[in-house]
Amino acid sequence: MEAPLQTPVFDGEGPFRAVLWHESAIDPLFDPAEPERWFAPEERAALAALGLNAKRRREWLAARVALKSLLVADGVARRPADAIVRKDARGCPRVVVWEADTGRYEEIACSLSHSAPFVFCAYARGRAAAVGVDVEPRTMRLSFLRRKFLSPEDRMLPKDDAAGDDTLIWSFKESLSKLLGTGWGCGFPNLQCRETDPGSCELVDAAGVARPGRYRWFGRWAVTATWQSPEPPAPPAPLPERSLFDRLTRASRLRRLRAARRLAAEASGFPATRPPDPF
């Protein structure tokens, strides 16, 4: 399949939205003379810190313009500069939506990936949802390195495409490492990837937690995503059992309160309770 300029991927498959963009898709949108239309001051400082490396600047810009465009199109942010991509000490990004005029503030999990000329990015929908994504070109290099990242539990369905499978397993492990926020630090051989249906995998982290994953090929590029659904809402906590002593003292506190209100009302000349509505 030909790789498009901008396309949603895995729509409706999990609690996230993801888009694949060709880097050139940002050219009609982003004017380098007006970076403030897209970026908050802290992001412009992060861009300046990248220096003059043109490839790095372009992938950085493309990933963020793609993500912010998606957030604005989905009505999550009103303006691109209101959705600020911030990273933690390990490099894991999140979106902070901050609208100064309405005072709205929200933090959203997101994930970014670049592999020229493509960028792939996603944000999670719903509190406590998380997503990790990756775009990876199919390459023989990963087959030479497979012993460094495979686990004995990794299994792909038979399709006579060892290089494609190695690319997918690597890419899924990158996606999972991004969801976990660790990057390579989690040790890829500790992660497991099992293809359950064509295009669907189960990813298991080092703690044994399993999450779903999807992949799709665009020409020789694989895109992968894994996600974590929001926790189901906790059932309401049961009301505490009151002891007989509690109930008796509560009743006497209520009687004293009512008497005090009656006295205050008599002193002020107003009735203690609202008179019945005449209509």
Ligand X SMILES: CC(C)(COP(=O)(O)OP(=O)(O)OC[C@H]1O[C@@H](n2cnc3c(N)ncnc32)[C@H](O)[C@@H]1OP(=O)(O)O)[C@@H](O)C(=O)NCCC(=O)NCCS
- With binding defined as CB under 6 A, does residue 192 bind ligand X? no
The span from the CA of 47 to the CA of 52, in Å, is 10
- With binding defined as CB under 6 A, does residue 113 bind ligand X? yes
Q: Which residue is nearest to ligand X (CB)?
A: 183
- For 6-12, the CB contacts below 8 A with 24+ separation are 6/66, 9/120, 9/216, 9/223, 9/225, 10/214, 10/216, 10/225
Sheet with 16-22, strands from edge to edge, namely 6-9, 16-22, 118-124, 104-115, 93-99, 83-87
Answer for which of 10, 60, 149, 227 binds ligand X (CB under 6 A) is: 60
Answer for which of 23, 82, 134, 166 binds ligand X (CB under 6 A) is: 134
**Residue 65 Cβ vs ligand X, minimum distance, rounded to whole Å:** 11
The window from 21-29, 107-115, 151-159, 234-242 that contacts ligand X (CB under 6 A) reads 107-115
Q: Write the interaction track for ligand X spanning residues 135-174; mark x where CB under 6 A is met and - where it is not.
A: ---------------------------------------x
- With binding defined as CB under 6 A, does residue 92 bind ligand X? yes
**Residue 90 Cβ vs ligand X, minimum distance, rounded to whole Å:** 4
Q: What is the separation of C-alpha 125 from the centre of its chain, rounded to a whole number of angstroms?
A: 7
Under rule CB under 6 A, which residues in 239-258 are in contact with ligand X? none
The span from the CA of 51 to the CA of 115, in Å, is 19
- With binding defined as CB under 6 A, does residue 185 bind ligand X? yes
Nearest to 79 by CA among 39, 110, 125, 30: 39
Q: Is the dihedral of CA 145, 149, 153, 157 positive or negative?
A: negative
Binding residues vs ligand X (CB under 6 A): 60, 63, 89-93, 112-114, 134, 174, 177-178, 181-185
